[in-house]
Structure 1
Amino acid sequence: MMNRILLGVITVIGFFTLAEALTCNSCKVGILGKCLYSSQVACASSEINCYTASAVFNVTGFLSLSSSGCTSNCNNTVGTILGAGYSITKTCCITDLCNGASAVQLSTTAAFSTALLASIWSSYML
């Protein structure tokens, strides 16, 4: 009898834990406001926010990279990559799919160039 009650309590707690997982739109890299490939992801329990981030390079002022997904860090940052200054602005929210995302098809050259920039940039986003 006691084992059944304990098993029932653990099951109910498990359902509430699963129900509380946040779902966010995810975009690993976007360029000029358009996501290369978007999806929806379930956040880890430590990631309590959905975010949308945009990095603008100070030299050009118009070239921007973006990403979105789950995070526990909503701080904006500034820094440099290969001597070029940039600023990252993050917008966070706390409800399912609150960080809208859109996908667009790009040419292979544009996708390759973006992937190259993203590989440098991704280590600075998180």
Structure 2
Amino acid sequence: MINFWKAVTLLSAVIAAAQCLTCRQCPVGIFGTCLLGSDVTCNNATESCYRGEAQFNATGTLTLHTRGCLDSDLCGKTLTGSILGAGYTSSFQCCTTNLCNGAGSVQISVIAALCCAVLASSLGGTWEL
């Protein structure tokens, strides 16, 4: 009987963990580069990961990118407004699987390791990664 309750407890924990969505979070990105990005586990009320763009009307060419968790009610929407008198348009594209809104931080580590390997080989030394 004890094994039965252990199994029920474990199954409940697995189901609860599976329902939490993990998304790539990027508070601000410019020219395709995310500044201060990380992975975040969304709360149970958040149903989607998103990629968003905000374009300021005055600049026309500067587009800011964001990523994170979002309530599905805002998915596919385009919003307009103004900040300090500058008009902007923002849009949100959503998806519903783990890390579907962008690359994880693991790729940055791989790129850094490759750069170190190339640098080490060009210096003629032997390095272990």
- Structure 2: 5+ residue runs without aligned partners? 109-129
> In the alignment, what sits opposite 1:90?
92
Taking the aligned partners of 2:89 and 2:50, their CA distance within structure 1 comes to: 16
> In the alignment, what sits opposite 2:60?
61
Taking the aligned partners of 2:104 and 2:53, their CA distance within structure 1 comes to: 14
> In the alignment, what sits opposite 2:37?
38
CA RMSD of aligned residues (A): 2.4
Q: CA deviation at 1:8?
A: 4.4
> In the alignment, what sits opposite 1:78?
80
Range 10-19 or range 81-90, more displaced: 10-19
Deviations 1:8-63 (A, max 9, x none): 43442221111221111111111233211221111111111010111000111111
One-letter code of the match for 1:70?
C
User: Structure 1 pair 40/6, CA: closer, same or farther in 2 (3 Å)?
Assistant: same
**Larger Rg, first or second structure (1 or 2):** 2
TM-score, normalised via structure 2 length: 0.68
Q: Indicate conservation of the 8 Å contact 2:25/2:66, yes or no.
A: yes
Percent identity reads 42
**Which one has more relative contact order, counting CA pairs under 8 Å at least 6 apart?**
1
Deviations 1:102-126 (A, max 9, x none): 889xxxxxxxxxxxxxxxxxxxxxx
TM-score, normalised via structure 1 length: 0.69
Q: Secondary structure at the match of 1:17?
A: helix
After TM superposition, list the pairs within 5 Å mapping 1:12-23 onto structure 2.
12-23=11-22
Q: Indicate conservation of the 8 Å contact 1:34/1:102, yes or no.
A: no
User: Structure 1 pair 10/102, CA: closer, same or farther in 2 (3 Å)?
Assistant: closer
